[in-house]
Structure 1
Amino acid sequence: MKLIIKNMVCPRCITAVTQLLQVMDMQPLQVSLGEAITAKELDVNEITTVKQKLQEQGFELLEENKEKLIDRIKTIVIDKIHHSDQDKVVFSELLASELHKDYSGLSKLFSAEEGITLEHFIILQKIERVKELLLYNEMTLNEIADMLGYSSTAHLSAQFKKITGFTPTVFRKKGSELRKPLDNISQNI
């Protein structure tokens, strides 16, 4: 049985959900960002229990199709920006091919449900990734801009300042207190 799970944003989330399903004897076959596949078909009572246990851990079992689609969009964006070394992703093409839906329809649905445009969500995720890379202090701003598909360092710097209120250089000096958890990035804009 396939379960769509909201708020899974990192490898530790995968581990936590896997362990939770194992403890509940749900026989997880595969757990990845945003979903889990169990060997066992769950009845209504088991689904309710899994939903409650996931909520206790900060996750949410999604049941409505719109919610599932929004969560898949977020998972794909987060995965590509934060967990992939692949350079210069064209998100409109990626999302359309991965979800087998027209990008403009996905974008409209995302905006209507989340109160933020999909493009702005992608920008916010990229900026959060830039913050992370700046704090590691292992790459130049030019390398970061190239890695995340920015046309120039100036474009990245301007967008970074617009979103954070700081230049990348000032941010690097300020430190980690300005970072946000990945699942809260679209909130409090």
Structure 2
Amino acid sequence: MTSTTLLIKNMVCHRCILAVEDILKKESIPFQNVNFGEINLVENLSPDQQERLVNKLDKIGFELIDNYTGGLIEKIKQVVIKRARNEVDERESKIKLSHYLTGKVSHEYTYLSSLFSSVEGRTIENYFIEQRIEKAKELLIYGQLTLSQIAFDLEYSSTAHLSSQFKKITGLTPTYFKEIGIAKRKSLDKI
């Protein structure tokens, strides 16, 4: 038995992990674990298993990544999402984004940045900002935190900085967005 890792595109939340685990169980595919963007299998898939898995993943909006570039882009996205949503420890949150990404992906930042821009048509920094704004939207809709608390939690330098970026990305002020609610939210895999 040889273990193998499959890379999956569009896995951005914990529900995604549960959905993929459910597919693997239903298809009787033995796996060690499922993480954001990857499945660690116990053994290689047969061609029939792989075809069924690809079809099942496709039905719920996921895609098996079968090339190095696609896998690297997906890894960049997963690392940026975790950092943007402040799902890292306090020490890691203080590291400059470019250094953090270089450490997690094991490539020079200039290479990662150039590759990401050429494939995605936007910079890593823009993607990071969009992810932070989506998290801010989520927190605004929940209504449990003030804008100042959200700015602090997402490590903005000030409430004004968050408000400025929020308006630039959404075209709305945070206060107005909160009033209109969920209608303006995007699912994370659409960003």
Q: Do these two structures clear the TM 0.5 threshold for a shared fold by scoring above it? A: yes
Question: For structure 1, which runs of at least 5 residues remain unmatched after alignment?
Answer: none
* 8 Å contact kept, 2:84–2:129: no
- Take 2:86 and 2:183, find their aligned partners in 1: how far apart are those partners? 22
TM-score normalised to structure 1 length: 0.91
State the alpha-carbon separation in 1 of the partners of residues 179 and 53 from structure 2: 43
Contact 1:28 1:36 in 2 (8 A): yes
Residue 143 of structure 1: how far off its partner (Å): 1.6
The match for 2:121 is 115
Matched, 1:183 2:184: no
Deviations 1:145-169 (A, max 9, x none): 1221211111111111111111111
Residue in 2 aligned with 1:105?
111
Find the counterpart in structure 2 of residue 130 from structure 1.
Answer: 136
Offset of residue 43 of structure 1: 3.1
8 Å Cα contact 1:18/1:31 also seen in 2: yes
Q: Quick one: which amino acid aligns to residue 58 of structure 2?
A: Q
Identity %: 43
Which amino acid counterpart does residue 65 of structure 1 have in structure 2?
A: Y
Gaps of 5+ in 2: none
The equivalent residue for 1:26 is 29
CA distance in structure 2 between the aligned counterparts of 1:60 and 1:131, rounded to whole angstroms: 27
Aligned twin of 2:10: 7
Residues 20 and 57 in structure 2, CA contact (< 8 A), matched pair in contact too: yes
- 1:80–1:86 contact (8 Å) kept in structure 2: no
Instruction: Label 1:105 to 1:77 Cα distance change in 2 as closer, same or farther (>3 A).
Output: same
Deviation at 1:178, TM superposition (A): 0.6
Cα distance, 1:2–1:83 mapped onto 2, change above 3 Å: farther
**Number of residue pairs the alignment of both structures matches:** 185
Q: Take 1:9 and 1:83, find their aligned partners in 2: how far apart are those partners?
A: 14
What secondary structure, in the 3-state scheme, does the structure 2 residue paired with 1:175 have? Answer: helix
Give the aligned residue type for 1:127: I
Return the letter of the residue paired with 2:43.
K
Partner of 1:165: 171
- Give me the whole-angstrom Cα distance separating, in 2, the residues matched to 1:177 and 1:86: 32
CA root-mean-square deviation: 1.5
Calculate the TM-score normalised by the size of structure 2: 0.91
SS of the residue 2:172 aligns to: coil
Alpha-carbon distance in structure 1 between the residues aligned to 2:102 and 2:16: 26
Deviation at 1:73, TM superposition (A): 0.8
CA–CA separation in structure 1 for the residues paired with 2:134 and 2:28? 37
What corresponds to 1:70 in structure 2?
73
User: Does the aligned pair in 1 maintain the 2:163–2:174 contact within 8 Å?
Assistant: yes
- Matched position secondary structure for 1:120: helix
Once the two structures are overlaid, the 10-residue window that deviates more, 149-158 or 80-89, is: 80-89
Displacement of 1:85: 6.1
Q: Provide the C-alpha distance between the structure 2 equivalents of 1:85 and 1:135, rounded to a whole number of angstroms.
A: 23
The Cα of 1:59 is off from its aligned counterpart by: 0.7
Q: For 2:148 and 2:89, locate their aligned partners in 1 and report how far apart those are by CA, in whole Å.
A: 16
